[in-house]
Amino acid sequence: MSAKTPRSSSVETRHLVMPDHANHYGTLFGGTLMGWIDMVAVMVAQRHCGREAVTASVDRLNFLSPISVGDHVLLRASVNYTGRTSMEIGVQVSRENPYTGEVVRATTAYLTFVALDENKKPVPIPPVEPETEIEKRRFRNAILRVEANRNLVKKMREEMQSSSGPDAAGSPPQDK
């Protein structure tokens, strides 16, 4: 399986924020933006692996600056890292004022996708081969996130197992 560059599967798209995308403050609903992020990220994942891919997790979603009705939303996404069957997609969201041209980073998100075969089972994917210094930095940072997430999941499982007992499933405590 040949490696692919982040550039070979990257996607860039735009949206115009309309009143029905916004809350009563005139700013974009977070859920609408999350849908746009997921949509652009799955396009990258599909392009990278050449098959169906599904969202496994959203690792980080940081809202940095509000996006208002009338703003243009620019979403840029690419593969940061690949495992055997999964890949991290990074999405950078900017808001652009269409009248002044001012561009401000609004959101950054990291999503993990898993490639699936015809039976909806995980399947190996091509490795990613970063070329530029920015791509290499993103790759290194993704490795740190993957390791941190593994450690967090391991710790949570250990804590949940150690607290097993009659109340472990979330049932209310019983008076004796």
State how many domains the chain has.
1
In a domain, 47, yes or no: yes
Alpha-carbon dihedral of residues 127, 129, 135, 139, nearest 10 degrees? 40
Instruction: Of 97, 77, 105, 92, give the one whose Cα is nearest residue 17.
Output: 97
In a domain, 153, yes or no: yes
Domain that holds residue 21: 6-162
The model's confidence at residue 162, banded by pLDDT at 50, 70 and 90, is confident
CATH number of the domain residue 100 falls in: 3.10.129.10
In a domain, 172, yes or no: no
In a domain, 171, yes or no: no
In a domain, 174, yes or no: no
- Single pTM value for the model: 0.86
The model's confidence at residue 174, banded by pLDDT at 50, 70 and 90, is low
In a domain, 1, yes or no: no
User: What are the pLDDT digits (tens) for 53-109?
Assistant: 999 999 878 899 999 999 999 999 999 999 999 999 999 999 999 999 999 999 999
In a domain, 167, yes or no: no
